[in-house]
Amino acid sequence: MIARPHQPLLRVEHLGMNHVQRHGVTNARLIVQAFADVNLTIYPGTTVALVGESGAGKSSLARCLALLEKPAEGEFWFDGVNLLALYGRALFPMRRKIQMIFQDPTSALNPRLTAGEIIAEPLLIHGQGTKAQRREQALNVMQQVGLPRKCERKTALEFSGGQRQRLAIARALILEPKLLILDEALSSLDIANQKMILKLLTDIQAARSLTYLHISHDLRLVSRFAEVVAVMHGGKIVEQGLAANLFAEPQHPYTQELLAAMPSLESICQERFA
């Protein structure tokens, strides 16, 4: 059992969001439910995984939690502040506390900026420090995520896939956020890189007592690091609990199905070569 502080870092209740689509010709409104009635509580310093199939509403929820989109209904408390009551400039200082890392690091990095500029950019947006200070801070974070300082002047496209994801992590870390949302951040990496980035994330978490929300469709990956797992299906969270309990005794039929569909290497070998 994990020792939990009483005050949660993030608490959402009955959160719901719709996508409004417009018909190409008639311009008629078409409302598609992204997710509804989502309840989720995340305690500081923990790693929570949100799993589910494509289209379950995971990424929409992630964008909502990253303050990229406004939910249609519900409550969203972060660090004791009701975020849905804040607008525009009032929301601005809260944004630095929640950072997001995207699936494809290539498209998530501005191709025109150098690595140093990319990492320092959030500081610039938040109007922090002088140019020299920002650069120094960027170089420090670069080193922390395992990128050599001499890469400062390279553009994003000159890095490998794993390095680009490190770059994206560095950009997220420079604002010293409390919550890092990783939207399928490991999915586009090969196994070796996945392992290295995961190790990096664990080290950073230990050093900074960061909180992670991992969005993933890969249960096997999630089972390696998540303390709490929430299973999303059809725009709702159908089951959540401690990873150990959830993997051992799944309650919801969808979770059971998901776990059954996750073959172990041994079972694959048995099936194919027996």
Partner 1 sequence: MAMKYIRRRLVHAAILLIAISILSFALLQLAPGDYFDAMRMNPLISAQTVNGLRTEYGLDRPLAVRYEHWLVSVLRGELGFSIAYNSPVGPLIWVRARNTLLLTCGATVLAWLLAIPVGTWSAKKRGTLADRACGVAMSTFLTIPDLLLYLCLLLLAVRTGWFPAGGMISPGASSLGFWSKAKDVALHLLLPCVGLALTITPMLVRHIRSALIDVLESRFIRAARANGISGTRVLFRYAWPVAANPLISLLGFSIGTMLSASVLVEVILSWPGLGPLLVEAIFARDVYVVIGVVMLSSVFLVAGNLFADLLLLANDPRIRVE
Q: How far is the CB of 154 from partner 1 (least distance, A)?
A: 10
Between β-strands 236-242 and 73-78, what pairing exists: parallel, antiparallel or unpaired?
A: unpaired
Q: Pattern 142-161, binding to partner 1, x per CB under 8 A?
A: -------------x-x----
Residue with tokens 């498209």: 107
CA atoms of 77 and 11, how far apart (whole Å): 5
Residue with tokens 């990319």: 118
DSSP-derived secondary structure for 161-227: HHHHHHHHHHHHHTT--SEEEEESTTTTS-HHHHHHHHHHHHHHHHHH--EEEEEES-HHHHTTT-S
Single out the segment in contact with partner 1 by CB under 8 A; choices: 48-56, 61-69, 72-80, 131-139. 61-69
DSSP-derived secondary structure for 44-68: TT-EEEEE--TTSSHHHHHHHHTTS
Binding partner 1 (rule: CB under 8 A), the pick from 13, 86, 126, 234 is: 126
Binding partner 1 (rule: CB under 8 A), the pick from 92, 193, 218, 234 is: 92
Q: How far is the CB of 191 from partner 1 (least distance, A)?
A: 23
Residues making up the chain, counted from first to last = 274
Q: At what angle do helices 161-173 and 131-144 cross, to 10 degrees?
A: 130
Single out the segment in contact with partner 1 by CB under 8 A; choices: 44-52, 121-129, 136-144, 198-206. 121-129
* Whether 14 contacts 37, CB under 8 Å: yes
CA atoms of 207 and 217, how far apart (whole Å): 27
Binding partner 1 (rule: CB under 8 A), the pick from 99, 144, 211, 255 is: 99
- Which is closer to partner 1, CB of 100 or CB of 215? 100
- Which is closer to partner 1, CB of 110 or CB of 245? 110
Q: How far is the CB of 122 from partner 1 (least distance, A)?
A: 5
Binding partner 1 (rule: CB under 8 A), the pick from 13, 121, 152, 218 is: 121
Q: Does 5 bind partner 1 (CB under 8 A)?
A: no
* Whether 226 contacts 237, CB under 8 Å: no
CA atoms of 111 and 219, how far apart (whole Å): 32
- Which is closer to partner 1, CB of 99 or CB of 144? 99
Binding partner 1 (rule: CB under 8 A), the pick from 102, 159, 212, 254 is: 102
Binding partner 1 (rule: CB under 8 A), the pick from 22, 70, 131, 199 is: 22
Q: How far is the CB of 62 from partner 1 (least distance, A)?
A: 10
- Which is closer to partner 1, CB of 11 or CB of 171? 171
> What residues line the site for partner 1 (CB under 8 A)?
22, 27, 66-68, 91-92, 95-96, 98-100, 102, 104, 107-112, 121-122, 125-126, 155, 157, 168, 171, 175
